[in-house]
Amino acid sequence: MDGVINVLKPPGMTSHDVVDFVRRTLGVKRAGHTGTLDPGAAGVLPVCVGKATRVSEYLLGSDKAYRAVMVLGVVTDTHDAQGRVEAVHDPSGVTRADVERALGGFRGVIRQVPPMISAGKHAGERLYRLARRGVVVERAPRTVTVMALELVSFQPGPAARAILDIACSKGTYVRTLCHDIGQVLGCGAYLDFLVRTRHGPFVQEEAVTIEELEQAARDGTVARYVLAPGAALAFLPEVTLRPDESRRLALGIAPAPRPLAVLPPEVVAGGRPAGRLVRLSTADGALAALARLYPARGEGGLMGFRLEKVLL
């Protein structure tokens, strides 16, 4: 069994718990997720099984979307509901217009300081392990991109809260985003609940629950939930190999260079095809390899393929 399963992670399970569940339920040896969700969060968690674990890193960098519940008036040390309360303020004076204005400063390219309870590292050690020992260290800010940040609803008053829809790049901490919005509003805020609604091409509406996957394993119908590796990476341009090229590829020999004119149009989008990652597929559509394009010297403008992953 090789492919990606779009699992709907329930709150209360760690991402590792979900991977262990998939491994046991499907009877597979190799399985891994493509991006951690906090234990209290729910939503889309793609799990790679079999040969698809070899391409999980390419899904890890995908953009993501979330729905978040933000509580105003409270600051916690972890920026979420699980943390220790550090400050309490009355948010009664905050209006919907105030929140809308604050959100405007967090769209586009922004800088974030990772929270101590995170998987980042300091001197080779995970931040969350340091935090559990009560150690707080300086963290360098990181650059992330927030493509969309919309206020879905707002409840004003002494128990003010807001629901946000967020689309963002890899590495964005939504709980830190809520914390920083609270700082701008002057009353503080924390992330109360989070649902990941999209991870790259995987969406919440098509995710399979733990219970559904368990039932499918008993019924022998799990295959309907397994997306082939090539389909999971459909956002990458596809180059179809000739049968003789597929045979040579199995020996680690890259396919012959191609003229730009016969490559997928998205390869030349932006005018910088060199270095672009592409899927190499067999004639029947199976993912054979991932490769990066490079100008083939002396080949009259042809683009060659530098192999990164061979799956045959």
- DSSP secondary structure of 104-125: HTTSEEEEEPPPSSSS-EETTE
**pLDDT score, position 55:** 92
Is residue 77 annotated as a catalytic residue, yes or no? no
In the block, which residue shows the tokens 């707080």? 136
Among 166, 161, 149, 159, which Cα is nearest to 71's?
A: 161
Position 269 scores a pLDDT of 75
Tokens of 63: 């953009």
pLDDT given at position 116: 66
Q: Which residues of the chain have pLDDT under 70?
A: 116-119, 122-123, 128, 131, 270, 298-300
Kindly provide the b/e burial profile for residues 225-240, where b requires at least 16 CB atoms within 10 angstroms of the residue's own CB: bbbebbebbeebbbbb
Considering only CA atoms, give the Rg of the chain: 23
Q: What is the structure's pLDDT at 299?
A: 62
142 close to 111: Cβ distance less than 8 angstroms: yes
Q: Give residue 298's pLDDT.
A: 65
- pTM for the model stands at 0.90
From 38, 80, 98, 180, active-site residue? 38
CA distance 185 to 215: 47
Asked if 151 and 100 touch (Cβ cutoff 8 Å), the reply is yes
Interatomic CA distance for residues 38 and 16, integer angstroms = 10
Pairing label, strands 277-281, 238-240: parallel
Query: Structure tokens of 144?
Result: 């992330």
Angle at 154 between CA 153 and CA 160, to 5 degrees: 145
Structure tokens at 98: 């105030």
Q: State the Cα–Cα distance between residues 191 and 79, nearest whole angstrom.
A: 6
pLDDT of residue 94: 98
Whether 79 and 190 have beta carbons less than 8 Å apart is answered as yes
Q: For residue 134, what pLDDT is reported?
A: 74
